[in-house]
A and B are shown apart, each in its own frame.
Chain A
Amino acid sequence: MEIISEKKKGGSSRELELYFGPQHLGMIGNFSITLNVRGDRIVRAEANPGYLHRGFEKLMEGRSWIQNFPLVCRVNVIEPGSMEMVYSTAVENLAGVKVPPRGKYIRCIYLELSRIASHLFGLWAYSKTLGFETVGGWAMYHRDLILDLFEELTGGRVYNIYIWPGGVRRDLPEGFEERTKDVLHEIGEKVPDYNQTFFENRLFHERARGVGVVSREEAMNTGGTGQVLRATGLEYDIRKVEPYGVYDEIDWDVPTREDGDAYSRIMVVRDEMIESVHAIFKLFDKLPGGPVYNKIPNPFKWNIPEGETYVRLESSRGELGLYLASDGGRKPYRAHFRTPSYPHGLTILEKALAGESISDTGNIMISLYVTAPEIDR
């Protein structure tokens, strides 16, 4: 993209300041971007987060270890599963709690299911922004089928509050495996329709190719992880780089693309969904018996020894980390979530939007899968 020369100050190309504000049809979540545009070219974009800031880390310092368990899954509403997993793993590292093997498997099944649900939500948001209402309807319908599975497994549709330190909260209800496989088969049968209607649709190619390009060096310099990196050909996936749970016990591969534009990111998301569906089948085949939960000490008296830990895992949008420090007391001393949308939404988005047209703002933002609650915490 050539940079518009400074000379043309007056006339239609004088610089305007527009608010792609919190209340906007193209905006998913509560986030606002201040666009300095000349004509319909964005000269400079400035992200303006903070609309969903609840001061999570301050609240966590005021609650005991088990009281934080329902709070922590509310950091990001689109994929609560990975938040619970990162908090539980951090607490287990600090307190030295072991998780039984069946518990680990159920955790990974639950994480993969919430990854698919989160990708389907992203697909709805992206296709809606590009005008494909039907594809959005399908994605949301399939996501709702997965939410019914969550409701059956954990008792809650969206906030599942399921993974807690020591394992998972309840065992699988009987018949859960068959129903999950039916839902996954139904989604699997729809993939050709998705491809034909959306992924191989020329309109999508026109709108997404070459838009919002983030090169590999740029992504690596500004903390990009997840699809942003994998779309530039780098197989950087925390489930492979730092295996957790049972991801190293099943074989699956990391889909990548080359160009690093919106198109490649969405195609990486699509391939990841298909990969997750296969992973769940493999996990169910190797599901061992036995307990799913090692009882933690009495929650009112649980003093976790002094220390700190940094845990990271692969959420649907990139590397999700948690720096957790304890001073030996009943409450966390400091918790800081490293959420994937933070660098994507603040540094990479501003770089990617520069020089693009206004109509592609929503397109680029959602292809980077920027979700507002994660940035503000």
Chain B
Amino acid sequence: MSGKRPSILNSLGAGKYLFRRPKTIKYPFELKEPAPRYRGFHLNDWDACTGCGNCEDICPNEAIEMVEVPELEEAPEEGRTNLRPQINYGRCCFCGLCVDVCPAGALRLSRDYLHIHFDTDTFTFIPKDQKSAGEKFLPEEEYSVLKANLDHRRQDYEGFSQDLDFSLFRLDRVPMPQVPPEERKLSFIEQVIGYTKEEAKGEAERCLECGLCEDACPAGLNIVDYVGAIYEDDPDESLRQIFKDNPLPSICGRVCMKHCEDACSLGKQGDPVAIRWLKRWTADSIEDYKRSLELTPGEDKGKKVGIVGAGPSGLSLAYFLRLKGYGVTVFDSLPGAGGATRIGPPQYRLPLDAIEKDVNYIASLGVEFRFCTTVGEDVSFEEIRDVYDAAYLAVGNSDPLSTGIENADKAHLALDFLRSNKIGEGVEVGREVVVIGGGNVAMDAAREALRLQHMQHPETSVVTKTVSLEDWDELPATGEEVEEAREEGIQFNPAWGPKKIEVDGDGRVKGLLCTKVKSVFDEDGRFNPSFDEDREKFLEGDTIIEAIGQKPDFSFISEETFGKLEFTERRKVRVNENGMTSLPGVFAGGDIVNTNLDAVTAIADAKVASEGIDCYLSGK
């Protein structure tokens, strides 16, 4: 190459391009369409967005700030806040990490990129979606390149958007090993076997730490911390975080209504984090709470509190008050603690040793339990009010309701049925059982009856049916329970009302006559079912169980104190913000006060009452 020196005229060959068409894109008149995946300004679908704040946490330049939008309504229990991401384009680097981490798939980047202004404040912007915000976006014909900027952009001009197999979170849950339906319906072994250490870590690793669950939990547990502690291989720290608000992890780990999982941001497009099962894993994986908790009762304040009812609310209050240094005595008519959780959920859902594990720890803090003592018979309520400096009503809904239809006396009441099977001598069931009711207690009764049928009539074909006023979508039982019941072969008859229990000659039950239900609630939402009289149906059955709800039993309170006790219009005990009833020194909590009727809300009431009692007794 270096031998012959190239001539200087070679480069004139480029002259041939003089007569070719120029390759210039004449910009304002000719537009180059951005690529379908272009990363421009943000678009945010406000209906899908829950304001969980994951985009704010992932942004490397802190360009995103969650800002309150007043006109949006807040729904903590469904995991929706009125916060929306506000993007500061003086910081944003258009990398799209926020799009890949958005669990609801609401945030996307558009193909707009034009915003020019002399004032830097206009570069901060709360992106809206094209569906709801007409004034923010221009229809196709009005859009002009020179006019386009952050204030008005082209309609549905979506660019870089989410692709679920490239997302920064995992949508599907670590599968929980469970006993298969055919096998579990034959015995009372615990259905949910529980995570191993690796499975628990894998599930805990999914949590995006956005905190929606903590706003939804009635007791406000530090869920992000205890799930994070599981991931960090530190079950002791995890237990300490749980015990800050909930002394019954073993019970709640099995029967909680898991409001948190309904709110979990991962639940929007996939399975929420299994928060309840993780709490259960922490409780199961630690043999002795005492060693890892290092909690000691507070120094003695010389005051004593009497608690009526050893259910979740009573037990939690005992735990909180012991930490504050008050003497505590708990009265309960049952032979053991746990209240509704002890006699309600059957062994396959909540085994007795799980309850004992929590109760023993609370007892070890110096709580005096008085079992098999019914307040109102063995000891009077007035006595308690005099002897103790403060009293706490936590009796729960212990009185089962009956439909009151003809021959209703022939039917079993669900609570008694479940109680005798769990801690009593057990009940004989026939080959066909009909359960009246659609709630969780009805599901427990039906699935327990099915197991008893298989155990008491091994080779014969057995069937359990349920009948409920509510239709499929209105069933009060949690979806999981209904699903598992159907898996076990229980036949459902939704939207049918019980009318009459048919009895044969010598008083044996033959079946249940039902009428079609038109609607369960009237127009302003109160429970007042209407029936279609001429459509009827007969369900054969030799055993009927009524599970249509429970109400509290205040018979132990004397007439004149009962007169002074105020109630809300929904027949719940009225309490002030400290949990105190209208009777001075008498506090209340649990199912008789709140409307959620579950363990975790009962614990939340107990925490409120513990602060109230502390102020009341120290005279603040």
A contacts, CB < 8 Å to B: 63, 66-71, 74, 132, 134, 141, 148, 151-156, 159, 161, 169-170, 173, 193, 196-198, 200-203, 205, 209, 291, 293, 295-301
B169–A197 touching, CB < 8 Å: no
Q: Which residues of A contact B96 (CB under 8 A)?
A: 155, 161
Enumerate B14-69 residues with CB–CB distance to A below 8 Å: 14, 17, 23, 32, 34-39, 57-60
Q: Which residues of A contact B2 (CB under 8 A)?
A: 205, 209
B168–A154 touching, CB < 8 Å: no
B95–A299 touching, CB < 8 Å: no
Mask of B129-158 contacts with A, CB within 8 angstroms, 1/0: 000000000000000000000000000000
Q: A70-B93, A200-B10 are in contact. Are A151 and B170 (CB under 8 A)?
A: no
Mask of B85-102 contacts with A, CB within 8 angstroms, 1/0: 000000001111100010
- 18 A-B interface contacts by CB (under 8 A): A66-B168, A148-B35, A153-B37, A155-B37, A155-B38, A155-B39, A156-B38, A173-B36, A196-B10, A196-B14, A197-B14, A203-B8, A296-B168, A298-B205, A300-B57, A300-B58, A300-B208, A301-B209
> Other than the known A156-B39, A298-B168, what 11 A-B pairs have Cβ atoms closer than 8 Å?
A67-B59, A151-B35, A153-B37, A196-B14, A197-B11, A200-B10, A201-B10, A297-B205, A299-B58, A300-B209, A301-B228
Judged by a CB distance under 8 angstroms, whether B620 is at the interface is no
Judged by a CB distance under 8 angstroms, whether B165 is at the interface is yes
In the docked arrangement, what's the CA distance between A154 and B109, Å?
A: 13
By beta carbon, the residue of chain B nearest A299 is: B168
Q: Which residues of B contact A200 (CB under 8 A)?
A: 6, 10
B23–A196 touching, CB < 8 Å: no
Q: Which residues of A contact B10 (CB under 8 A)?
A: 196-197, 200-202
In the docked arrangement, what's the CA distance between A70 and B63, Å?
A: 14
Judged by a CB distance under 8 angstroms, whether B13 is at the interface is yes
Q: A161-B95, A169-B166 are in contact. Are A197 and B159 (CB under 8 A)?
A: no
B contacts, CB < 8 Å to A: 2, 5-8, 10-11, 13-14, 17, 23, 32, 34-39, 57-60, 93-97, 101, 109, 159-160, 163, 165-166, 168-170, 205-209, 228, 231
By beta carbon, the residue of chain B nearest A156 is: B39
By beta carbon, the residue of chain B nearest A258 is: B2
In the docked arrangement, what's the CA distance between A134 and B12, Å?
A: 11
- Interface residue from A71, A173, A205 paired with B37 (Cβ < 8 Å): A173
Give the A-B contact count at a CB cut-off of 8 A. 107
Q: Tell me whether chain B's interface is mostly helix, strand or loop, or mixed.
A: loop
- What 3 A-B pairs have minimum CB-CB distances, sorted nearest first? A70-B95, A67-B60, A152-B35
Q: Which residues of A contact B93 (CB under 8 A)?
A: 70, 74, 159
A205–B6 touching, CB < 8 Å: yes
Q: Which residues of B contact A169 (CB under 8 A)?
A: 166
A141–B97 touching, CB < 8 Å: no
In the docked arrangement, what's the CA distance between A125 and B8, Å?
A: 22
Q: Which residues of B contact A202 (CB under 8 A)?
A: 5-8, 10
B23–A141 touching, CB < 8 Å: yes
- Interface residue from B13, B101, B170, B207 paired with A196 (Cβ < 8 Å): B13
A193–B8 touching, CB < 8 Å: no
In the docked arrangement, what's the CA distance between A152 and B57, Å?
A: 28
Q: Which residues of A contact B159 (CB under 8 A)?
A: 155
Measured between C-beta atoms, what is the minimum distance from B20 to chain A in Å?
A: 11
In the docked arrangement, what's the CA distance between A133 and B36, Å?
A: 34
Measured between C-beta atoms, what is the minimum distance from A70 to chain B in Å?
A: 3
By beta carbon, the residue of chain A nearest B32 is: A148
Measured between C-beta atoms, what is the minimum distance from B374 to chain A in Å?
A: 51
B37–A154 touching, CB < 8 Å: yes
- Interface residue from B8, B163, B207, B208 paired with A170 (Cβ < 8 Å): B163
A201–B95 touching, CB < 8 Å: no
Measured between C-beta atoms, what is the minimum distance from B314 to chain A in Å?
A: 37
Measured between C-beta atoms, what is the minimum distance from A24 to chain B in Å?
A: 26
Q: Which residues of B contact A299 (CB under 8 A)?
A: 58, 101, 168
Measured between C-beta atoms, what is the minimum distance from B200 to chain A in Å?
A: 14
Q: Which residues of B contact A193 (CB under 8 A)?
A: 13-14
By beta carbon, the residue of chain A nearest B8 is: A202
In the docked arrangement, what's the CA distance between A196 and B39, Å?
A: 40
- Interface residue from B5, B97, B163, B170 paired with A66 (Cβ < 8 Å): B97
Q: Which residues of B contact A170 (CB under 8 A)?
A: 37, 163, 166
Q: Which residues of B contact A151 (CB under 8 A)?
A: 34-35, 37-38
A155–B6 touching, CB < 8 Å: no
B97–A67 touching, CB < 8 Å: yes
In the docked arrangement, what's the CA distance between A161 and B94, Å?
A: 10
By beta carbon, the residue of chain A nearest B111 is: A155
Measured between C-beta atoms, what is the minimum distance from A128 to chain B in Å?
A: 15
Q: A209-B2, A298-B206 are in contact. Are A63 and B60 (CB under 8 A)?
A: yes
In the docked arrangement, what's the CA distance between A279 and B174, Å?
A: 43
Q: A68-B60, A161-B95, A170-B163 are in contact. Are A295 and B170 (CB under 8 A)?
A: yes
Most buried by A among B34, B58, B60: B60
In the docked arrangement, what's the CA distance between A84 and B41, Å?
A: 23
B11–A201 touching, CB < 8 Å: yes
In the docked arrangement, what's the CA distance between A169 and B97, Å?
A: 10
Q: Which residues of B contact A141 (CB under 8 A)?
A: 23
Q: Which residues of B contact A198 (CB under 8 A)?
A: 11
By beta carbon, the residue of chain A nearest B5 is: A202
Q: Which residues of A contact B8 (CB under 8 A)?
A: 201-203
In the docked arrangement, what's the CA distance between A80 and B38, Å?
A: 17
By beta carbon, the residue of chain A nearest B169 is: A298
Measured between C-beta atoms, what is the minimum distance from B583 to chain A in Å?
A: 49
Measured between C-beta atoms, what is the minimum distance from A260 to chain B in Å?
A: 14
In the docked arrangement, what's the CA distance between A203 and B169, Å?
A: 58
Measured between C-beta atoms, what is the minimum distance from B25 to chain A in Å?
A: 9
